[in-house]
Amino acid sequence: MPQTILSPDRPFRPLDETQLVDYIKSTLVIRELIGFDSGKGVIDVKEVGDGNLNFVYIVAGPSGSVVVKQALPYIRCVGESWPMSKDRAYYEMLGLKKQGEICPGHVPEVFFFDRTMALIAMRYLKPPHIILRKGLIACIEYPLLAEHMSEFLARTLFFTSLLYNSTTDHRRGVAEFCGNVELCRLTEQVIFSDPYKVTQHNRWTAPHLDEDARAIREDGSLKLEIAGLKSMFCERSQALIHGDLHTGSIMVTVDSTQVIDPEFAFYGPMGFDIGAFLGNLMLAFFAQDGHAKMDADREQYKKWILKMVVDTWNLFQKKFVSLWTEHFGSGEAYPPEIYNDPKLLQQVQSEYTKDLLHESLGFGAAKMIRRIVGIAHVEDLESIADVSLRAHCERRALGFAVMLLKERRRFRSIEEVNDALASR
Amino acid sequence: MPQTILSPDRPFRPLDETQLVDYIKSTLVIRELIGFDSGKGVIDVKEVGDGNLNFVYIVAGPSGSVVVKQALPYIRCVGESWPMSKDRAYYEMLGLKKQGEICPGHVPEVFFFDRTMALIAMRYLKPPHIILRKGLIACIEYPLLAEHMSEFLARTLFFTSLLYNSTTDHRRGVAEFCGNVELCRLTEQVIFSDPYKVTQHNRWTAPHLDEDARAIREDGSLKLEIAGLKSMFCERSQALIHGDLHTGSIMVTVDSTQVIDPEFAFYGPMGFDIGAFLGNLMLAFFAQDGHAKMDADREQYKKWILKMVVDTWNLFQKKFVSLWTEHFGSGEAYPPEIYNDPKLLQQVQSEYTKDLLHESLGFGAAKMIRRIVGIAHVEDLESIADVSLRAHCERRALGFAVMLLKERRRFRSIEEVNDALASR
């Protein structure tokens, strides 16, 4: 647990850049981190948050920088009309700490947390780190991306599941993260509900996609499928998941991959994290034609994105099963006295990962759909200036996602998904 | 919440009958209930607990009786060598209160609870109330049993699920009952693990069933199925379930049905409760041949038990779906703006109850198996004096349960289960 001040004499208040400087001046831990402990020099603060929820600052001092993130009691991109518990900062801190313990190479350290102020100070991810989504738009290949993300997924999901833990520890974690219910409800609304009904929050490229959006709202079999996934999201405490693992929650360089922003963390279905990442890669894939120039068609880059989809799943599966075999008997799900036959264990693992693939494809598809006809869109598609071209890319992505959500169970491997994508 | 004393100056101690009388004399609420408030008359105490876990007393005073139940910090039927949190009494009290609010006609009222002493005082279920299991052994028909149990199941499961509640309320309940983890772990061990491995706890009618027990421990596909059910038990918070709803947790007369002993209560899969009841009816069915006499073959009674299996499920399904339709839009699982088409809602409900039937059959089968080759057996079979005859009944029940666990998904209705039972 990072050093925490409860500051009972200092009630919550949102900090602007000037107030943040004062806050830091009065906070020894942060002063020391940026080399301002003597009080000499300058503290430079820059707001850099481009997410939907919070304010994020890079705080630079005489000899170092940190990132400071503050949660306000509403959703940033909507405003005070959509209240949201600022205690999400507490769950983000818990998530960062837990995932950092499990996978230190891919999660920034938390240095300081102030629960009253809903304020986290964490490691500054120096340039050339950029948000992965921006890298995907800029056509940059990250040779270690699948390796790193499969490592993050395999380790964080395995080590917080009943495959590794006792039921007692598991239920303690489940109970703790039940407190993060407001963020879960936000997901339930924007991913599993809004795209399937008429609501003022929804938007899409109009009028081009009017009919496509309407078809989704009138597709009974799609609604049946989304209901099943929503039940799983609400009821199944399989592992401590990140809860918002899209390509905007990942910062990268060619040799570093860092997962940030787990304020949606709770005990949920593993496939929700895997699907978030794969689904956002697929959105990036469908957006490429919108970014192609006459002299560079991006076909090569599209192949690389598909390779990331395939490699991430296959490496994840391999690493996850290896952890399971290595730590077999540590968790309470499969007692070794029962699953004592190597062939039986292999069969159990194969059934488990087969279901997980189908669940991941389902959640991934749901995340694609909501990014095209729901409230929050993705820059991959939004940044395509030619509206007709953007609508064309969006329609293809949407069509694929609807098919995937309905027919996910017929895919026996990620290669079959790759083939279906490549043939679009 | 019943009147509770925290009695900080009175630490926990197990009460024998004499000490219980003293405890009652010093506890006004109970004194008043039994008409001993004046201090005149006699308090008569009789231990009647025949369950595996706790001590239960009927406390009779000058003008009334109550039942007092105390949980000791170990499992009664094993002794101090198997410790078990006495705080299970707290969860039993919560379970009784909640289920009593939802279904007052079929749950005894709680009058008093002392958390430190792990002691509950509740309504005394007067004769001719007997434990249903004893009634089933004694060949007594209860004409309202299916009506009452389907009512209890439909109401307690529906009103504690996301079909009725908001996610916020649901997660609050889930978090609270995560504390009852020791009882969940006991279930995980005795139902989902022990029967499938070699352990000193297991017993069966030997040597008759030696091969049958061994076959279960060596059946890979059975172990795959039980793993899936165990995951569901550990991970899926679908509703507040009773957690131990066998025929020994139900007291009956011809016109009253009362569900007691919910100390295993937690947010788990609905099918676990439904399956417990149906599975124990099926055990009673298979035990009948062991109780038949030459002049009365019990064929008629077996038909009645099968009718209870069929009627309970069908009435449950009808009532559950009616509650769903009546309260449609109250819970957050299926927003009416999305599931706005009556045909679609019907399809959703039909899918939901189809899955629930299969899950109930799976859990029911698991409960049958553990009662024949696990630690805790049932009087239905244990009371068959002729060992060979008992083994014969047990083998038939076991064979059916193993088939049902593996092939449950092929049954499209409870009538098909009935036919499979009747043809055995």
Span A384-410, pLDDT tens digits:
999 999 999 999 999 999 999 999 999
Q: Is the pLDDT of residue A275 over 80?
A: yes
Selected for mutation to probe chain A from B202, B338, B348, B355 (highest A CB count within 10 Å) is: B338
Q: At what angle do helices B270-291 and B387-407 cross, to 10 degrees?
A: 150
The answer to whether residues A283 and A268 belong to one domain is yes
Band the pLDDT of A325: cuts 50, 70, 90. Answer: very high
Number of domains within chain B: 2
3-state SS assignment for residue A217:
helix
Cβ-nearest to A193 among B220, B235, B335:
B335
**pLDDT over 70 at B27, yes or no:** yes
Give the pLDDT score at B340: 86
Enumerate the β-bridge partners of residue B250.
B259
**Eight-state DSSP code of residue B45:** E
Higher pLDDT, B92 or B424: B92
- pLDDT at position A4 is 67
Q: Are strands A110-114 and A3-5 parallel, antiparallel or unpaired?
A: parallel
A347 → closest Cβ in B167, B188, B220: B220
Q: Hey, are the CB atoms on B172 and A178 less than 8 Å from each other?
A: yes
Does A334 lie at the interface with B, CB-CB under 8 angstroms?
A: yes
Once rounded to an integer, what is the mean pLDDT over residues B397-410? 98
Residue bearing the bigger pLDDT, A50 or B170: B170
Closest partner residue to A333 (CB to CB) among B196, B231, B237 is B231
Check CB contact of A338 with chain B, cutoff 8 Å: yes
Predicted pLDDT at A160: 98
How far apart (Å, rounded) are the C-alpha atoms in residues A104 and B388?
Answer: 62
Provide CB contacts within 8 A for B318, sequence distance 6+: B150
Average pLDDT, chain A: 95
- Residue in A133, A155, A136 with CA at minimum distance from that of residue A316: A155
Please give the pLDDT value at position A7. Answer: 59
Residue A128 has pLDDT above 70, yes or no: yes
Residues A18 and A46 in one domain: yes
Measure A73 CA to nearest chain B CA, in Å. 17
Mean pLDDT of A307-336: 97
Residues A101 and A159 placed together within one structural domain of the fold: no
Q: Are residues B58 and B157 in the same domain?
A: no
Contact B12, B1 (CB under 8 A): no
| Residue B231 contacts A, CB cutoff 8 Å | yes
pLDDT at B389: 97
Q: Are residues A249 and A101 in the same domain?
A: no
Which of A123, A149, A172 terminates a domain? The answer is A123
**CB–CB of A291/A136 below 8 Å?**
no
Mind listing the pLDDT tens digit for each residue in B377-390?
Answer: 999 999 999 999 99
pLDDT at B5 over 60: yes
Q: Does residue B320 contact residue B154 with C-beta atoms inside 8 Å?
A: yes
Q: CA-nearest residue of chain A to B161?
A: A235
Contact state of B167 with A234 under an 8 Å Cβ cutoff: yes
Distances (CA, A) of A356 to A50, A153, A352: 31, 12, 6
Phi-psi region of A58 (alpha: psi -120 to 50; beta: other; left: phi over 0): beta
Residue B185 touches chain A, beta carbons under 8 Å: yes
| Residue A274 and residue A194 share a domain | yes
Contact call for A235 and B231, based on CB within 8 A: no
Residue numbers of the domain that contains A366? 130-422
Q: Among all residues of chain A, which has the CA nearest to that of B197? A: A338
Which pLDDT does position B186 carry in this prediction? 95
How many angstroms separate the CA of residue B194 from the nearest CA in chain A? 9
The predicted model gives A28-54 an average pLDDT of 89
In this model, does residue B2 exceed pLDDT 70? no
pLDDT, one tens digit per residue, over A241-273 is 999 999 999 999 999 999 999 999 999 999 999
- CATH code of the domain in which B108 resides: 3.30.200.20
Residues of B in contact with A175 (CB under 8 A): 174-176, 178-179
Interface confidence, given as ipTM, is: 0.95
Instruction: Report d(CA A334, CA A95) in Å as an integer.
Output: 26
Asked whether the beta carbons of residue B174 and residue A175 sit closer than 8 angstroms, the reply is: yes
pLDDT digits (tens, 9 = 90+) for B202-249: 999 999 999 999 999 999 999 999 999 999 999 999 999 999 999 999
Give the full edge-to-edge strand order of the sheet including A130-131.
A130-131, A250-252, A257-259
Q: How far from A106 is each of A254, A269, A304, A305, A373, CA to CA, in Å? A: 13, 21, 22, 20, 32
* Of the residues B105, B123, B141, the one at which a domain ends: B123
Q: What is the pLDDT, as a whole number, of residue B424? A: 83
> Domain check: are B214 and B273 in the same one?
yes
Nearest-CB residue to A335 (from B168, B193, B333): B193
pLDDT of residue A2: 66
Range scoring the smallest mean pLDDT among A190-204, A207-221, B41-55: B41-55
Q: In the A/B pair of chains, how many CB contacts fall below 8 A?
A: 118
pLDDT at B293: 87
β-bridge partners, B55: B70
Say how far apart CA A366 and CA A274 lie, in whole Å: 12
Final residue before a domain boundary, out of B123, B145, B170: B123
Task: Reply yes or no on whether the pLDDT at B294 is more than 80.
Answer: no
Q: How far apart are CA B296 and CA B293, in angstroms?
A: 5
Question: At residue A375, does pLDDT exceed 60?
Answer: yes
Tell whether the model's pLDDT for residue B6 goes beyond 70: no
Is residue B407 very low, low, confident or very high in pLDDT (cuts 50, 70, 90)? very high
DSSP state of B372: H
How far B79 CA lies from chain A's nearest CA (Å)?
22
pLDDT surpassing 80 at residue A8:
no
| Least confident interval from A39-43, A230-234, B44-48 | A39-43
Nearest CB to A337: which of B162, B168, B197? B197
Residues of chain A with Cβ-Cβ distance to B234 below 8 Å are: 162, 167, 170, 332-333
Identity of the amino acid at A314: N
Q: CA of B184 to nearest chain A CA: how many angstroms apart?
A: 8
Question: How close does chain A come to B222, measured CA to CA in Å?
Answer: 11
Q: Look at residue A362 in the predicted model and tell me its pLDDT.
A: 98
Asked whether the beta carbons of residue A235 and residue B236 sit closer than 8 angstroms, the reply is: yes
Burial class for A290, CB neighbours closer than 10 Å (0-12, 13-18, 19+): buried
Render pLDDT for A150-161 as a digit per residue (tens, 0 to 9).
999 999 999 999
Q: Are residues B321 and B415 in the same domain?
A: yes
Out of A218-232, A287-301, A373-387, pick the least confident.
A287-301
| B57-71: pLDDT as tens digits | 999 999 999 999 999
pLDDT at A52: 74
What pLDDT shows up at residue B382? 97
The CATH number linked to A222 is 3.90.1200.10
Task: With cut-offs at 50, 70 and 90, classify the pLDDT of residue B37.
Answer: confident
Do A140 and A101 reside in the same domain of the chain? no
Note whether A98 and A154 are same-domain residues: no
Nearest to A231 by CA among B225, B356, B365: B356
Whether A234 and A383 share a structural domain: yes
- B337 CB near a chain A CB, below 8 Å? yes
Q: Phi and psi at residue A149, in whole multiples of 5°?
A: -70, -35
Same domain, A144 and A114: no
Q: Which residue of chain B is at minimal alpha-carbon distance from A339? A: B223
> DSSP string spanning B146-168?
HHHHHHHHHHHHHTTSTTTS-HH
What secondary structure does DSSP assign to A220-280, as a single string?
HHHHHHHHHHHHHHHHB--EEE-S--SGGGEEE-SS-EEE---TT-EEE-HHHHHHHHHHH
